A and B are shown apart, each in its own frame.
Chain A
Amino acid sequence: MATTAITTPSLANIYWKETKYELLRSLRLRVYTFSVIGFPVMFYILFGLFITRGQTLSNLSASTYLLATYGTFGIMGASLFGTAGALSAERGLGWLQVKRASPMPPIAYFTAKIVKGVIFSIVVVLCLMALGIAFGNVHIAFFTALKLILILAAGSLPFCAMGLAIGYFAGPNSAPSVINMIYLPLSFCSGLWVPFMFLPKFLQQLAHFLPSYHVSQLALGVIGAGRNESNWIHWTALWIFTALCIAVALYGERRDEGKLYG
């Protein structure tokens, strides 16, 4: 057996290398690391640790409450920039074609982008948590912290799907501004910066249609500051949103195949 020629490459090896290099590549890309980790950290330090110092929200220290909402803000950026940013550039500037011409399984390419989005999301949440525990008034049990990390990691998946959809329709140069135009208003309207209860009534109603609202409510639920809505509603909304984004991304993929390339 050992002497027969290998006729297919090891799939596990491909997925591993694709993901490893995607992570390495992004880590070395300072624009990505700085904006994806730097922004939420800066915001959390400013609003979560200084401005609201000593205040309470939903019977929690403000720094604990805002850990969940800025955490949601953080995973959105990591996921959207990690998928949409890379995909639009590689698709628009020809690199994706070189990969598609090779025997690379296409799913490996997308998996690597998604895994990267999730891993960076976890890193962002860990950074915020460490800051909150060290310098803010954050007191959470180990298992609550773990659950918060897992919920936010899962919550990054709908945004990775959204990123792939954006990546198929935004040009390589316009992608970053498109992402900002979507995710900054989304964050505000879901109560990620200004807590939900301080938002005007019409925004509170609008928020129910936003994926970021549902992720943040799941996260707040973990630390006991949710709005007493059923988690089932949040998960269903997120599933529907994810499915829609995947459908749009697949449509974009089809559209690309028949399109003029040079």
Chain B
Amino acid sequence: MIAEMHAGDTLIQKHSQDPRPLAARLRGVSKSYGNVQALRQVDFSVRQGELIALLGPNGAGKTTAVKLFLGLSAPDTGTVSVFGGNPKNSATRMRTGAMLQVAKVPETMRVREHIDLFRSYYPNPLPMQETLSIAGVGDIQERLFGDLSGGQRQRVLFALALCGDPDLIFLDEPTVGMDVEARRVLWEQIRRLVARGKTVLLTTHYLEEADALADRVAVINKGQIIAEGTPAEIKTRTCGQKIRCITRVPVEEIREIPGVLTVTTDREALEIRAAAAELVLRELFLRDTTLRGLEVTNAGLEEAFLALTAENETK
């Protein structure tokens, strides 16, 4: 446990040495709603040009963090800064865009009209045509919002977040309720934003989504950031890699190899969990040249996530 926490510390340190300038930051932020503590002493920063995912289960505090960054609520303690300023300032808001979870959007306005209105709020908005094409809503621009499908509605909200050509974009659970195909399309559009040099903070409870999109993942649970790093780092930190092979080396002997976490038998094969597969494999090949059926897989983010949240709960 101590070793793991140490590993986590270095990951966070590495990030704080990141030379890219800060886009937004929470410092020692706590926020509670009545008896519910939504965030506890959270330190969290977003660097310019990165796509960071805030990953956690429902009720973990993701949306609260986004609302603080947007100046929609104020922290009980700690400070929130966006581009070095107060998120409530209109000058700050002109550099940010947001896609929030919303139950109902005015339905008797056309897609184009919604975008036209939001564009007017910004000093240097994207041209209408460009907004329509990036968000993929060109073909539905004349439709009333109320006539759109769930996926199309999300795309329009995405268009509203980016139409002002902001530097920093918050996407709060952008693909919730979308089918697989629509989700992949939106992912592609989000990647295009980052390619244009935008900074994106994405919240999600889809682990696959964080893995597919993010440069960096912060795992949040019960109002605390419990791990931070690249998707690969997060995975290695908790579950390492999984080796599956058929070998004559006895199970007891494998358990003795440094770096091996668990060994289980699955029919004729063995499943070995290890911090780093390379070291274990070197030992195995030395002892058994007939080793076959080899597969090495990274633990899924899903497993890493479950391990992290479970670890956090037992603390």
- Which residues of chain A have a CB within 8 Å of any CB of chain B? 5-10, 13-14, 17-18, 21, 24-26, 28-29, 89-90, 93-95, 97-98, 100-105, 172, 257-262
Contacts and interface: CB of A to CB of B under 8 A. Distances in A.
Contacts of A93: 102-104
A93 B160 CA distance: 17
Interface stretch (B92-100, B184-192, B307-315): B92-100
Interface string B80-104: 0000000000100110111011111
B72 A101 contact: yes
B34 to A, nearest CB: 7
Given A25-B109, A94-B101, A262-B101, A101 B121 contact: no
B34 A103 contact: no
Nearest to A14: B120
A9 B121 contact: yes
A95 B156 CA distance: 13
A17 B116 contact: yes
B102 A94 contact: yes
Given A21-B113, A262-B63, A97 B102 contact: yes
Contacts of A101: 70-72, 93, 96, 98, 100, 170
A10 B125 CA distance: 12
Contacts of B97: 102
A24 B108 CA distance: 8
A9 B113 CA distance: 18
A24 B101 contact: no
Contacts of B108: 24-26, 28-29
Contact of B100 (A10, A13, A17, A98): A98
Interface string B138-179: 000000100000000000010010001000001000000000
Nearest to B38: A260
A260 B39 CA distance: 13
Contacts of A104: 121
Contacts of B74: 257-258
Most buried by A among B71, B93, B102: B102
A-B interface, 4 closest residue pairs, ranked by CB to CB distance from nearest = A94-B102, A93-B104, A28-B108, A103-B93
Interface residues of B, number: 39
B205 interface: no
Given A98-B160, A100-B72, A261-B72, A14 B121 contact: yes
A174 B36 CA distance: 27
B73 A21 contact: no
Contacts of A95: 102, 104-106
Nearest to B34: A260
Nearest to A7: B123
Nearest to B108: A28
Given A9-B122, A18-B117, A98-B100, 15 more contacts: A5-B123, A21-B116, A24-B113, A26-B108, A28-B144, A93-B103, A97-B72, A98-B157, A101-B72, A101-B100, A104-B121, A259-B33, A261-B63, A261-B72, A262-B63
Nearest to A90: B106
Interface in B105-134: 105-106, 108-109, 113, 116-118, 120-124
B40 interface: no
**Residue of B70, B109, B116, B120 with most partner-chain A CB within 10 A:** B120
B183 interface: no
A257 B67 CA distance: 11
Given A21-B113, A89-B104, A95-B105, A102 B123 contact: no
Nearest to B103: A93
A25 B114 CA distance: 10
A8 B98 CA distance: 19
B10 to A, nearest CB: 35
Q: In the complex, which of the residues B63, B108, B124 has the most CB atoms of chain A within 10 Å of its own CB atom?
A: B108
B125 to A, nearest CB: 8
